[in-house]
Structure formats: structure tokens, C-alpha cells
Amino acid sequence: MTQLRPMLALLVALLWAAPLAAAQEAPGPLERWLEEPRAAYPVAEAELAEFLHVARPIIVFADNANDPQFQRQMSFLAERIDDLVARDAIVLIDTDPAARSPIRRVLRPRGFAVILIGKDGRIAQRKPAPFTARELIRAIDKLPLRQQEIRDANRPVGGAGAQALETR
């Protein structure tokens, strides 16, 4: 039995190393978004939990990339991508229902759908038709965490609260 433990440990290490090496070779949507936030990324094997407290996924589902609603939605997003980036929005696309991506299995869209997920991981908006970028921006700006971000950005640096902490 004691001879099997080192072999078992080696087997476990090898099984862990292969997926880790593959993950390091092919960065996921979140890692790529951190480098280039103005692009749209395929959902691939991404999980919604990856974006928790980091980004607000806008997920565009369609049965194929030639869907007129998909094309229209992508055009709407491209028009105001800088405003969406300023709100930590990542655009994810899934145009292959047969691939059954993890995000597709969780959200279960039927045909075309646009889903906005808040940084808290909750579905903020879901629509079976294209959203204008203006509608999405308004929806994001109404989210509680976004409201807090706006308040924090407007709070003066080094105010009375900071002085109180320094004197203690």
C-alpha cells in the first residue's frame, strides 16, 4: 500500500498538470478581455463565476452568426463599446447551440437572446430581441453595484473620514 501512494500522487499530479498547461496556453475570455476590453469573445468553456465582482457579462446568443438579430445586436454594441467598457462590461457571444457551452447550459436561451449579468452574478436583464447600447447602459447604471461605483468615484479623496482614520 505504501508503494502505491507515490504512484498515486504522481498520477494525480500528471492529471492536474495537463489541464493547467492547456489553460495557460489558451487564455479564456476574461484574461483576453483584461488585455483588450473593446472586443467580443466567444463563451467557449467560460463559467459565469469567472466574472463575479470583476466584469458585467453581456451575453449574446443566436442559433448562428448570420442571424439578423445577432448582426443588429453586435452593431448596437459596437456603436457604444467605449461606454460599455467604462462600465466593466464584457461582450460574450455564443452562436453554436450544438456546442452546449457551460454558460448556455446555465442560462438556457431559446434562439436569439441578450442577457446582462451584474457583477454580483445575478441576471439583470434578459431579452429575446436586440437591446440598443443606450438601453444596456441605462440598465447597467441602475444596478446597485454600479450605483456604488458612481458614488465612490464622486467621493472626495482625503475627506473627513480619512482624517479620522489617521488620528486614531
Residue-wise pLDDT for 71-96, tens only, equals 999 999 999 999 999 999 999 999 99
Q: Evaluate if residue 8 carries a pLDDT over 70.
A: no
Q: Which residue has the cell 443588429?
A: 72
Q: Which of 14, 116, 18 is nearest to 59 (CA)?
A: 116
**All domains of the chain in start order, with CATH:** 28-43+52-141 (3.40.30.10)
Q: Which of 61-65, 94-98, 104-108, 148-152 has the lowest mean pLDDT?
A: 148-152
pLDDT at position 27: 87
Q: How far is CA 108 from CA 94, 98, 101, in A?
A: 12, 12, 10
**pLDDT-derived band of residue 9, with 50, 70 and 90 as boundaries?**
very low
Q: How far separated are the first and last CA of the chain, in Å rounded? A: 60
